[in-house]
A and B are shown apart, each in its own frame.
Chain A
Amino acid sequence: MRSTTKNTLLKVVILGDGGVGKSCLMNRFVSNQFDEHSFHTIGVEFLNKDIEIDGETYTLQIWDTAGQERFKTLRTPFYRGSDICILTYAVDDKTSFKNLDMWRKEFANYADVKENNQVPFIVVGNKSDVPTEEREVSPLEMETWCNDNGITSCIETSAKSASNVQEAFKMAVQHWLKLESRADKSETVINDTVDLSKKQTENRTSCCIGSSDDK
């Protein structure tokens, strides 16, 4: 229903290999639940959740995608118009970490975004609760990879123990805010070219809740 406050609506997509815990992350974040035996996602799942940052309420429209390869053609249509992309791997699964690059490219390819650094990517290493001997990716490796790829936000989470889950989403929004303010500044500079990020900005600032954003 009508809310008196004018929330900003953000479209968030969660990407990553099948089984790294994307759906668990979302469920932990949205309903604070954890399911030990969750099914592989079919195509996509969708949930809404408000998050408050610095007194502002943001409504996150979260699209949790299916990581299995066979769903590729089904999930990619949902990338278009995303504001935030959460790249997810599991710390006990080296392959899922190695695949981050593939995911980043897939997103960039289908989200219709031209410059990579305009996309608010954040990297989430899930399952941080696993015992050290099962760990295959260290926080250092994650940071190195992010540095190499120009991604400034990364965090280790555990959907199981609920550690850092809220923080991860918060970090994502903050990252977006940072980019947004940068884009605002640059807007005055590039005025003659049609630029995707600029359009988004215009829309967003002029709209109240629900005005969208899911371009």
Chain B
Amino acid sequence: MYPSMRSIELFRSVSVDDFDSCAACLLKRSNAMRRKGRRVVAGQRVLLRDEKDRLSAPLKGKNGNTSLIPYRRILKNLRRLQMKEQQKKIKDSVGVKLLKKKKRTSWFLKVKDIYSRSDERIQQVDGGFFEKFGSLFREHAEMAKTKEQEEKREVAEKAAEITPKEGDEEDNDETTLPVIAESEAEDSAASASDSDSETEKDKGDLIAAAFNIDELYTEILYIIIHNVGCNVEVSQNALFSYAQDAFRIPNDKHRKLMEEAESKADPELMINVEVIEAKELRSKDSNGLSDPFVTLYLASNSSHRYNTSVKSMTLNPIWEEHFALPITDKSIDDSLCLEVWDFDPAETVKEKLGKIFDVKGVKGMRKLVKEIAVTATTGQHVNELIGRANIPLNTIPASGMTMWYSLDKKNKVTRQGIVKVRVSFSSGKNNQVAQQEHRHMRRIILLHELELSKVAPHWWCGNFTYQGQQLLDQHIAQSGLTQTEVELCAYSVYAGVHQNHPLSFTLFSKSLEKLVKPLQTETICEEEVKLFWEATKKLLPSCFSIIRKIRKKGTTEKAVMKQVIEVLKILNYIGILEPRNIELFPSNLYPWVTFHGDGPNCDILGTLSDAVSQGANDWLNHLIENNRKPDESELARLQNLIQLIQLVRSDLQKAIEFYDKLFIDLVKFQYAKCLYIFYQAKIATLCEPEVREICKSLKKLHYIGYSYTSAPTNSDPEEDPLSEGTSLFEVYLAVQRFVTLGQGLCPADYDTFHIKNFHQWFHGGVAQWLDIAVYKALIRIEKAVELDQLVHVDTNLKYSSSAVDALTIFYQVKTFWQQLNWPDVEGCYTFIAKIIDDICRCCVFYADKMAARVDGMGDSQDVYEKKFEVTNEWCLAINNIDYVRETLEPFTRDLGMEDVLKKLADIKSPVEADRCRNTLNNVISNAIDTVRNKIIELLEIVANKMGPSMKRLLIEGAELGSQGCNTIDRLMMYVDTNLSTLHRELNDENFNRILEIVWDLLSEILNEIIQTNLEKRRPPPFFAKLRETLNLMLGSFKNPDDCSNCDALRRTEQILKINGLETADLIHQAYIEMANIFDKSKETPYGEISFRCRFQGDSLQIEVINARNLFAMDSNGASDSFVRIHLFPEHKFIGVDKPKTKTHNKTLFPLYDETFTIDLNPEQASIEDGLILFSVKDKDMLGYNNQYIGEAFLKFKDIPRTESSLSSLPQVKKWLCRPTTTETNVLKALETRQGDKQAKDFLRKYKQRMGS
């Protein structure tokens, strides 16, 4: 991947807040490009070369490794694949997520901003990603920087003493580092500041190195001169010039030191031989086996022989015996000779062999065996040679080797077997001195090579040039250093160099991998252990720096991952070593460590946790600092918070997806959890005061009732309470999501988190959100009504689009409520009440808008009149509102009120929960009623619009009669069509409702017509015709029975009927009414009358039996009573007798005992509503003015038609009554007939009877 591409990638995967730094990065890069042309590619070259090195390294005949190559390749490819996949995943999940959130415009703006700003800003960013935060930290960083500079100067001075010219060059070189190195400069600066650069000891080291440089150089020359082993690739001269370069030795000095080196005595070199084993040896004994032993010597000194022990009776002996042969002849031709013999014991030898069991210790044994061998080889030639192998010394690499050699024997072509030996060089040098030399040398070579190759920071992972490697190998070989010793040297040198020029962490993790075991098991001198820990202390700060800068931009995800893995491995190895009583994390280097324990701090996991928190902290602070602008509006502050939380969340997401497993697997550290614990506290402290303050000062949303100030007129978005509230809600949601994440991530600790109660910060905001929700709902409803085409949404559904829209809007409010997921129960309850009330308000608003929408529809004017047709639109409007109303109740249930009430009962008390339930139910039914009333209001409008036409129909009907009249037909049609439209379009409930309203309206209209026409003294036929028309009209109502429910109309119709009667009929109605009233009356003061009646054929037989408790009419306390019999209707019994009894004086209990027979014609006898009136009167003394006592009626239909005699019938007893009211409709109708004598007479008599 090209670095430039990488940077683009980065732009994609970071979100707004990082653009400051990224843009700066980009700037820097492009600046560099301008300055350096193709420099950008340099980084890539480094990478390629590094890879090539790694690939070729095992090929260079490092024996044992050769077989590993294919395996390594596979591994590498595999890893590459994995990485790719991971990267893809990163891009897919994190990148894309972020990409979606990011606002392009804003970062473009920001980039522009940065461009236009002064260089100072860029420099600031260059100064480091995190380092500039916190004064303490800055101070520390500055201190470290000055110290480092001091040291650099010192070294430079020393170097200048030796080679002033090249010292200058070095300075120049630094400025021409490849681009990648430059971009990472911040990093090295960081590590420098972290690690406090060099410790005192290290400084001493460097100075010592400078002082002893001549000596060391001489030693190097000496080593080259006395090259051991094979060195094919590099000539001696090349090594000389390499060393001269590395040590920066001027030529004259080189010559001088060269002489010195040449004059020095030859080194005391030894060749170490381990005879390991032999295989497939040729048998020499009769038993098919051999008793083999090995003799070894240098060709130049064949008299000095060394023998192994004898392994009896085997062809595959294992010896594993060590020998050290001093090298005396420096000639390249010298070689090591190995001879395998079959031991054939002579007597004398046998004797000696017997001693084997007496000797103790390996050395003694060896001596003995040697003796035996000498005896054997110098004595009689009983031993038989199996084979021999020659190993020229110049085939042995300086680093030594282990190899199988085949054995041959003169003149024999057959295989004699193979022998395995390990050969290496060693010296008699002082081990401590050798190690120190080695460290210096390695350091100088490494620094030289780093400078030569201009390798980028964190790239170098242990591969020297051939020359460098060869020098080191020679030194190891010639100094006789063990692998562990060399590894320890390398480790401490690398750690030192690492402080100024970061090396690959892989280098250290591999080194530690090799060191852990020896450090645990081998006896390593105290000095070296100390060195190891010193080195580790130098290494660790950069490790924690990686952890802290895990989010650093400018490196690929892959690189970061790789580094983190290596760092974690390092921490793991160091953890395995269980450091004790070592101040691994001095507080001056780790100011952020929170360690509180006693004694030195070597708590790796604790420090790791601190580093993780600190890293997150630095990152966050950086984001905050970069986003902070002076005098920010609340809105901007809120939006910053949202972004911040989102970034934190995606950081956590990344931690969970990529790093958590690494940390757990490698160091058993719960990375994501640790991060979360830090973030939750941080977010809480960041958000809480801000949110609380903003909630307190929220500006009120101004909208009034159903009308609202259309589209926020306030052009300044900062001032707009709407966007402020919305942003606040976004913050809420962001925190909520963050908290949910925590519940899953740290279920055990969740309860202790302060952020758990985050909703309390937002307390004041909820009301605002609800207001906003209503406000938005109102706007949408208005729009929905406006857009409604007023057609059925579906052939089956009798409502139109806006009803569906309104519902959707309500459900948006519900969704908002669900999103809010308010945790506080009391609040929940109250807010639900508010939401229901608000939704009711929306419904009413909708109803009003709907009514306004259809208003005017169906109105028309033709030649005859102004009229109104019920249109589908009107019906739709009504249905829409009804549809919305119907959903109110289920909607409220959906708000989860049952759940809330249950919780209330739990945390408060069932009684209080019940009160709350009542309140909610009241609010709901209030809402439903309110909307229902809205519907009725609309129905009334429709009915009222129909009113004038109906009124006209009725009047015309009354005037003209119903027959053959055009107008009537037309009007009938009108009612019919409109009603059937209503019937078709409205649901039953609303249709019945509107019928009711129409009936109410009709009776109102009728009353009005009746009233005016009575006043006009219209004759009864007018009313009769009106009634006829009405019934005709009611007939067009689908179900006239429904009318029976309508009292008002029935009463009105009754009135109409009465007024339509001729006066005689009307009077009879008055009697019937009286009869009905009298029949119902209980005991009266006027007394009781008994009689018997029957029809015999057409003749009516009446027996007046007696009266009791008659009213005392006279002053003497008694009455002189008689009974007169009348038959009604009067006009139908003209000429018929009105018989009367005798008068019974001075008694209140007269026994009349008289029977009358009245002959009637058949019609008279069969009059349905005929009545008999028994009128009891007090006979006036003069017979002139009889006084009225009381009367009773008997209805014809109650009179038995029988042949049996009167006396066999039961007596009929009736209380005597007097009329008491003129308030009946009949009497009122009679009253209106002022000009009618008949009516007048009746009323006069009637009132007399009342009055007496």
Question: When A48-B922, A74-B830 are in contact, do A42 and B912 touch as well, CB less than 8 Å?
Answer: yes
Q: Is B1118 at the interface (CB under 8 A from chain A)?
A: no
Are B829 and A42 in contact, CB atoms less than 8 angstroms apart?
yes
Q: Which of B700, B908, B933 has the most CB of A within 10 A?
A: B933
Are A74 and B937 in contact, CB atoms less than 8 angstroms apart?
no
Please, which residue of chain B has its CB at the minimum distance from the CB of A9? Answer: B930
Are A74 and B827 in contact, CB atoms less than 8 angstroms apart?
yes
Are A208 and B937 in contact, CB atoms less than 8 angstroms apart?
yes
Give the residues in chain B near A1, CB-CB below 8 Å: 929, 932
Q: Mark contacts of A61-103 with chain B using CB atoms, 8 A cut-off: 1 yes-contact digit, 0 otherwise.
A: 1000000000101111110110000000000000000000000
Please, which residue of chain A has its CB at the minimum distance from the CB of B847? Answer: A211
Other-chain residue from A39, A46, A73, A80 in contact with B764 (beta carbon distance below 8 A)? A73
Q: Is A106 at the interface (CB under 8 A from chain B)?
A: no
Give the residues in chain B near A213, CB-CB below 8 Å: 705
Question: When A73-B766, A74-B826 are in contact, do A44 and B932 touch as well, CB less than 8 Å?
Answer: no
Q: Is B923 at the interface (CB under 8 A from chain A)?
A: yes
Other-chain residue from A45, A74, A203 in contact with B705 (beta carbon distance below 8 A)? A203
Q: CA A9 – CA B931 in complex, angstroms? A: 13
Are B767 and A43 in contact, CB atoms less than 8 angstroms apart?
no
Please, which residue of chain B has its CB at the minimum distance from the CB of A48? Answer: B926
Are A207 and B937 in contact, CB atoms less than 8 angstroms apart?
yes
Q: CA A210 – CA B926 in complex, angstroms? A: 9
Give the residues in chain A near B929, CB-CB below 8 Å: 1, 210
Q: Mark contacts of B940-959 with chain A using CB atoms, 8 A cut-off: 1 yes-contact digit, 0 otherwise.
A: 10000000000000000000
| A146: min CB distance to chain B, Å | 27
Give the residues in chain A near B909, CB-CB below 8 Å: 39
Give the residues in chain A near B770, CB-CB below 8 Å: 77
Q: CA A16 – CA B929 in complex, angstroms? A: 29
Give the residues in chain B near A73, CB-CB below 8 Å: 763-764, 766-767, 827
Please, which residue of chain A has its CB at the minimum distance from the CB of B925? Answer: A48
Other-chain residue from A4, A9, A45, A209 in contact with B915 (beta carbon distance below 8 A)? A45
Within 8 A of B (CB), among A33-67: 39, 42-48, 61
Q: Mark contacts of B974-1009 with chain A using CB atoms, 8 A cut-off: 1 yes-contact digit, 0 otherwise.
A: 000000000000000000010000001000000000
Q: Is B916 at the interface (CB under 8 A from chain A)?
A: yes
Q: Is B841 at the interface (CB under 8 A from chain A)?
A: yes
Q: Mark contacts of A191-215 with chain B using CB atoms, 8 A cut-off: 1 yes-contact digit, 0 otherwise.
A: 0000010011001000111111111
Please, which residue of chain B has its CB at the minimum distance from the CB of A27? Answer: B915
Are B922 and A47 in contact, CB atoms less than 8 angstroms apart?
yes
Q: CA A208 – CA B929 in complex, angstroms? A: 12
Within 8 A of A (CB), among B1043-1064: none
Please, which residue of chain B has its CB at the minimum distance from the CB of A2? Answer: B936
| B757: min CB distance to chain A, Å | 14
Are A39 and B826 in contact, CB atoms less than 8 angstroms apart?
no
Are B932 and A199 in contact, CB atoms less than 8 angstroms apart?
no
Q: Is B837 at the interface (CB under 8 A from chain A)?
A: yes
- Interface secondary structure of B, over-half rule: helix
Are B937 and A78 in contact, CB atoms less than 8 angstroms apart?
no
Are B933 and A112 in contact, CB atoms less than 8 angstroms apart?
no
Q: Is B809 at the interface (CB under 8 A from chain A)?
A: no
Q: CA A213 – CA B1000 in complex, angstroms? A: 27
Other-chain residue from A4, A78, A210 in contact with B930 (beta carbon distance below 8 A)? A210
Please, which residue of chain B has its CB at the minimum distance from the CB of A81? Answer: B705
Are B908 and A42 in contact, CB atoms less than 8 angstroms apart?
yes
Please, which residue of chain B has its CB at the minimum distance from the CB of A43? Answer: B830
| B40: min CB distance to chain A, Å | 58
Give the residues in chain B near A211, CB-CB below 8 Å: 844, 930, 933-934, 937
Are B919 and A215 in contact, CB atoms less than 8 angstroms apart?
no
Other-chain residue from A9, A112, A199 in contact with B702 (beta carbon distance below 8 A)? A112
Q: Which of B771, B833, B911 has the most CB of A within 10 A?
A: B833
Are B830 and A42 in contact, CB atoms less than 8 angstroms apart?
yes
Are A77 and B834 in contact, CB atoms less than 8 angstroms apart?
yes
Other-chain residue from B829, B908, B933, B1000 in contact with A209 (beta carbon distance below 8 A)? B933
Give the residues in chain B near A71, CB-CB below 8 Å: 826, 830
Q: CA A199 – CA B918 in complex, angstroms? A: 32
Give the residues in chain A near B911, CB-CB below 8 Å: 39
Q: Mark contacts of B47-78 with chain A using CB atoms, 8 A cut-off: 1 yes-contact digit, 0 otherwise.
A: 00000000000000000000000000000000
Please, which residue of chain B has its CB at the minimum distance from the CB of A47? Answer: B922
Are B930 and A212 in contact, CB atoms less than 8 angstroms apart?
yes
Give the residues in chain A near B915, CB-CB below 8 Å: 39, 42, 45
10 contacts between A and B (CB under 8 A): A43-B830, A43-B833, A43-B916, A44-B833, A75-B830, A199-B707, A207-B937, A211-B933, A214-B841, A215-B704
Q: Which 4 pairs show the lowest CB-CB distances between chains A and B? A: A210-B933, A43-B830, A215-B705, A77-B767
